[in-house]
Amino acid sequence: MEERPSHYVGSCGLVVRNNMLLLGLRKGSAGAGEWGLPSGHLEQGERLDDCVLRELTEETGMRASRASFVSVVNDPKQPVKKNYVNFAFLLHDVMGEPIVAEPEYCSEWKWFPLDSLPYNLFYGHRDVIRLFIEGKHFEDIKTQP
């Protein structure tokens, strides 16, 4: 049987306080030097919402009570030449302040006003963040211009 290309599933967390979005400056992995959301790959047998709650704690030391679905982006055009399907969740009742809990992947966490985000957003999260701001729930990135 012919092997088909696989897709990668990511779960991204939107942490919003006082109209500000939490972003981390990525390093040592895809998107180094770009600002991204707390996020990670879905593990075998894991629920999408549990994945983003786990990633939030692993990356920032923060905890959230729950995650509610916001959007999904199918992006076959990422520079890493992998087709990612990213699910975004709004995280509720987030407790604590962010710390750099995984210094090999992130150098700092910072709050940005939703209407003044940095120009260098992580390519894997740009559309997820845009859809959140626009109040939309799905985007299928076209592979053709």
pLDDT 10s digits, 4-60: 667 789 999 999 999 999 999 999 878 999 999 999 999 999 999 999 999 999 999
Q: Residue 113 has what pLDDT?
A: 98
CA distance 124 to 128: 8
Q: Residue 90 has what pLDDT?
A: 98
Burial of 102 (0-12, 13-18, 19+ CB in 10 A): middle
**Is a pLDDT exceeding 60 seen at residue 80?**
yes
Q: Which domains does the chain have, with CATH numbers?
A: 7-140 (3.90.79.10)
